[in-house]
């Protein structure tokens, strides 16, 4: 089943807010070999002008997980996850994420292309804080390998 091109016109509801915890930031930082004090030490973060420990640059992928599940759960999406490869990834920030942020993520599928039997799905997950102000947008392209690819 090919990827459904109508996904680009679909409106997805925002997912439940994600509360960024200090220990989660530290755990994720350890996992990506991030040793800078800003990720681990609240005092160092405050000295640099942040309210609490700062999340590493790729942390929004954790928050975007719920929107990925939302996409895969669409019954007519036509996405076989066992054939999915991550093609590219971008994070565009308005401000850094810090522990204590409550982020609400909303998914939008921006393009679906077919090339040589493979489908490429580009989606944007926009994350806003508790005041509704933009924090970061995660843009991902997933490649769904065709049956013959």
Partner 1 sequence: MSGALELEVGQVVAERTYAISRDTLVRYAGASGDFNPIHYRDDVAASVGLPGVLAHGMLTMGFAVQPVVDWLDARGWVSDYQVRFTRPIVVDPVDGATVTVVATVGAVDETGGRIDLTVSVDGQTVLGKAQVRVTAL
Query: Does position 41 bind partner 1 by CB under 8 A?
Result: no
Rule CB under 8 A: say whether 56 interacts with partner 1: yes
| Dihedral sign, Cα of residue 72, residue 73, residue 77, residue 80 | positive
| Local structure of 134: helix, strand or coil | strand
Task: Please state the φ and ψ torsions of residue 59, each to the nearest 5 degrees.
Answer: -55, -35
5 forms part of the interface with partner 1 (CB under 8 A): no
Which of 52, 65, 74, 80 touches partner 1 by CB under 8 A?
Answer: 65
Q: Please pick, from the candidates 41, 51, 72, 92, the single residue that binds partner 1 as defined by CB under 8 A.
A: 92
- Contact region with partner 1 (CB under 8 A), list: 61-69, 99-107, 112-120, 121-129: 61-69
Figure out which of the listed residues 1, 13, 33, 133 binds partner 1, where binding follows CB under 8 A. 33
Instruction: Answer for the pair 113, 87: CB distance below 8 angstroms, yes or no.
Output: no
Residues with Cβ < 8 Å from 117, sequence gap 6 or more? 145, 146, 147, 148, 149
Among the residue ranges 11-19, 22-30, 104-112, 120-128, the one whose residues contact partner 1 (CB under 8 A): 22-30
Q: Does 58 bind partner 1 (CB under 8 A)?
A: yes
Q: In angstroms, rounded to a whole number, what is the distance separating the alpha carbons of residues 64 and 91?
A: 11
């Amino acid at each position: 089943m090919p990827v459904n091109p109508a996904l680009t016109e679909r409106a997805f509801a925002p997912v439940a807010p994600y509360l960024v915890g200090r220990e989660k930031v530290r755990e994720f930082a350890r996992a990506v070999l991030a040793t800078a004090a800003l990720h681990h030490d609240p005092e160092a973060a405050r000295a640099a002008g942040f309210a609490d420990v700062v999340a590493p640059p790729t942390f929004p992928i954790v928050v975007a997980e719920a929107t990925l599940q939302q996409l895969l759960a669409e019954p007519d999406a036509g996405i076989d996850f066992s054939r999915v490869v991550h093609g590219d990834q971008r994070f565009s920030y308005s401000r850094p994420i810090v522990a204590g942020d409550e982020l609400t993520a909303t998914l939008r599928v921006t393009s679906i292309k077919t090339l040589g039997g493979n489908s490429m799905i580009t989606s944007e997950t926009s994350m806003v804080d508790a005041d509704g102000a933009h924090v970061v947008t995660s843009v991902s392209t997933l490649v769904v390998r065709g049956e013959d690819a």
